[in-house]
Structure 1
Amino acid sequence: MSALLPVGTVYPGRFDGRVVTVTGAAQGIGLVVASRIAAEGGSVILVDRSELVHEVAKELREKGFQAHSVTADLETFAGAQSAIDEARQQHGRIDVLVNNVGGTIWAKPYEHYTPEQIQAEVQRSLFPTLWTCRAVLPYLIEQRSGTIVNVSSVATRGVNRVPYAAAKGGVNAITAALALEAAPYGIRVVATAPGGTDAPARRVARGPAAQSEQEKGWYQQIVDQTVDSSLLKRYGTLDEQAAAITFLASEEASYITGTVLPVAGGDLG
């Protein structure tokens, strides 16, 4: 196991004195965000339901960074509340929450989804953000400061992922509506909307891999549409996604709230 340290530009000291909780931090975008913030001086709390998150936090500590790990099922409010409570106990405050949990489980035209699969997609990609925002908000209001960065998706306008698109549309709505409510307390709520992103093979799969030729074809339609919708005609990198998230999480973005920033090579979603 090797924690992915950022290969792009790092700004030492940008998160000095800041306590940042990152969900879905065992791999992918969440891991790179947590690593970048740690490298920039932040104290990071990595949350994931996979035990792999403990290996990531351990490796970050071995590199001299401040990192603590928490396992929790954020698809339930009880899991979200326990994770946020433990994160706050580590340093007595939370300055930033990055809500990164979510991801397509199945890829197919909507008429082929079962009711159970539709519910599972929404449970995976909407409720972790909904629950963790609710869990952290009283702490941020008490502090009268803080930033929530949600990770949405430009797949809100994409093929073969209607339930996932609906969930991420909900994340966009949370971002806009909660920003209005939270602003009087000095709290910012923002989001990025990643497009297609190249990443190493997942160590914990989101769902079953495509098996039949038809399923493989449906997934390829997503890839083709994603590239075609991007003006740059390519997938992004993990570091390109992390750069946008860490910017919005930083004090450099102090006058930005209620905004969803597409990070998709020109695809606005």
Structure 2
Amino acid sequence: MSPGRFTGKVVVVTGAAQGIGRAVAERVAAEGADTVLVDRAELVHEMAADIARIAGTGTTAEGPTAVGVTADLETYEGAGSAIEEALKLRGRIDVLINNVGGTIWTKPFEHYEPEEISKEIQRSLFPTLWTCRAVLPHMISQQGGVIVNVASVATRGVNRVPYAAAKGGVKAITAALALEAAPHGIRVVATAPGGTEAPPRQVVRGPQPEGDREKAWYQQIVDQTIDSSLMKRYGTLDEQAGPIAFLASDEASYITGSVLAVAGGDLG
């Protein structure tokens, strides 16, 4: 922890109800941020209350220093409403951390139905694309800000071709938007997490593997993830949250357009 690192900053974290998103929200709140947690699950309001209490951040004149906002970021309308609500609650956004995404199905590409491919892209690409678009005019007007996208090293991984395509798009957004945003004092960066251990999800991402064939396909992902890591293990939520917080902070003020692999040596 770096106490006070985000004091005076408003940080918006998407996909914050659980997993990496919640770990990041907890981290930046503990380091002084006024935090807005965004998720489509109502659970996000409970998480925000817990974070405000645990982090000891209490309240300000505007209310609790960690607040929840529900929105479906797979649509531009949802992303726009989330950013508007954050601005209404806090008046500014200094950092946007785009964490929404995740594999829905795990199987060889020839077994994906066309509608499943569309849903994977909708889940893991468009929330980042839409929220970047929604927050950009505000950051340009204030001539500063940081966008941290969460991509994945699974752009080179088995049984997740649509997800890989989506996260490859997140990396491309990061590189291209950094070029446009730099003249406005805005940094755009990303991490590319590898396999990460997390508690069971309270809101499931998709259908669980059923039958021996589906379980074998999922196990191939686990095996390939560990084999590709030089450390031969999954990471922890804290090991993902730390680099994201660093890239979001002023300590990374000379870093933009970069994607940091956080995967035990697997570069994806």
Per the normalisation by structure 1, the TM-score is 0.96
Q: Which whole-Å CA distance do the structure 2 matches of 1:237 and 1:59 have between them? A: 21
Matches within 5 A, 1:211-250: 211-250=210-249
Corresponding residue for 1:146?
145
Q: Deviations over 1:61-88 (max 9, x none)?
A: 2233210110000000000000001111
Percent sequence identity is 73
Is 1:206 the counterpart of 2:205? The answer is yes
Aligned residues: 260
Superposition deviation, residue 151 in structure 1: 0.1
Q: Which whole-Å CA distance do the structure 2 matches of 1:61 and 1:239 have between them? A: 18
Structure 1 range deviating more: 181-190 or 51-60: 51-60
SS across alignment from 1:47: strand
Matches within 5 A, 1:245-264: 245-264=244-263
Q: Which whole-Å CA distance do the structure 1 matches of 2:101 and 2:185 have between them? A: 27
Is 1:127 the counterpart of 2:126? The answer is yes
Q: Which whole-Å CA distance do the structure 1 matches of 2:89 and 2:183 have between them? A: 27
SS across alignment from 1:177: helix
Partner residue of 1:51 out of 42, 51, 59: 42
Q: Which whole-Å CA distance do the structure 2 matches of 1:125 and 1:242 have between them? A: 19
Partner residue of 1:40 out of 31, 37, 41: 31
Q: Which whole-Å CA distance do the structure 2 matches of 1:107 and 1:61 have between them? A: 36
Q: Which whole-Å CA distance do the structure 1 matches of 2:127 and 2:245 have between them? A: 20
Q: Which whole-Å CA distance do the structure 2 matches of 1:59 and 1:155 have between them? A: 31
SS across alignment from 1:206: coil
Corresponding residue for 2:79?
80
Q: Which amino acid counterpart does residue 228 of structure 1 have in structure 2?
A: D
Query: Would the aligned equivalents of 2:29 and 2:52 in 1 still touch at CA under 8 Å?
Result: no
Query: Would the aligned equivalents of 2:189 and 2:247 in 1 still touch at CA under 8 Å?
Result: yes
Q: Which whole-Å CA distance do the structure 2 matches of 1:69 and 1:98 have between them? A: 14
Q: Which amino acid counterpart does residue 194 of structure 1 have in structure 2?
A: P
Instruction: List gaps (5 residues or longer) in structure 1.
Output: 1-9
Corresponding residue for 1:97?
96
Q: Which amino acid counterpart does residue 261 of structure 1 have in structure 2?
A: L
Q: Which whole-Å CA distance do the structure 2 matches of 1:128 and 1:62 have between them? A: 28
Q: Which whole-Å CA distance do the structure 1 matches of 2:49 and 2:13 have between them? A: 15
Corresponding residue for 1:7?
none
Superposition deviation, residue 251 in structure 1: 0.3
Q: Which amino acid counterpart does residue 208 of structure 1 have in structure 2?
A: P
Corresponding residue for 1:11?
2
Query: Would the aligned equivalents of 2:194 and 2:234 in 1 still touch at CA under 8 Å?
Result: yes
Q: Which whole-Å CA distance do the structure 1 matches of 2:212 and 2:194 have between them? A: 25
Q: Which whole-Å CA distance do the structure 1 matches of 2:212 and 2:79 have between them? A: 38
Query: Would the aligned equivalents of 2:139 and 2:145 in 1 still touch at CA under 8 Å?
Result: yes
Q: Which amino acid counterpart does residue 41 of structure 1 have in structure 2?
A: G
Corresponding residue for 2:60?
none
Q: Which whole-Å CA distance do the structure 2 matches of 1:38 and 1:191 have between them? A: 20
Superposition deviation, residue 59 in structure 1: 1.3
Q: Which whole-Å CA distance do the structure 2 matches of 1:99 and 1:59 have between them? A: 21
